[in-house]
Amino acid sequence: MPICIDRDRLGLLLAGGYSQRAAARELSVNRWVVAKAIKAFGMRVRSWHVDTRKRNQIRDYLQSGVLSQREIARTCHVSQNTVGRIARELRNAQPMSTVNPCRCPDCGSVLRVFPCIACSVRRSASPVV
């Protein structure tokens, strides 16, 4: 007996950031059926694509530290890999400097980090006499 899947609903779920597994759960079918439907419909799926609202929601959950990555994935209807990628982005993100930019007294470069990197590079590159 063939299984019917609504192409538009599947497309909306995937575009909304649902993983194939979460879309299958939502449609009450096996995830392999969803994979075959995607192939049959000629859909292009970027499995790592998550809309900004959902990405921010995942970041909030990760930063609160209350839920595990598995629980966050279930709550947000994304894969655990997606949550892991966003967690890795948060770990690797460099905090923005809160220091207002100013000028170096020696070279005049705009500074956000002290000491002046340009001056330290020049000092290390200049030959010792």
Average pLDDT value for the chain: 79
2 and 44 belong to one structural domain: yes
Total domains present in the chain: 3
Tokens 């207002």 correspond to what residue? 100
13 and 42 belong to one structural domain: yes
β-partners of residue 110 are: 103
pLDDT at position 9 is 83
45 and 8 belong to one structural domain: yes
Q: Is the pLDDT of residue 81 over 60?
A: yes
The segment with the largest mean pLDDT, out of 9-13, 43-47, 78-82, 113-117, is 78-82
Q: Is the pLDDT of residue 40 over 90?
A: no
62 and 34 belong to one structural domain: no
Sign of CA dihedral 58, 60, 63, 65: negative
pLDDT at position 123 is 75
Q: Is the pLDDT of residue 37 over 90?
A: no
Instruction: Give the domain range for residue 36.
Output: 1-49
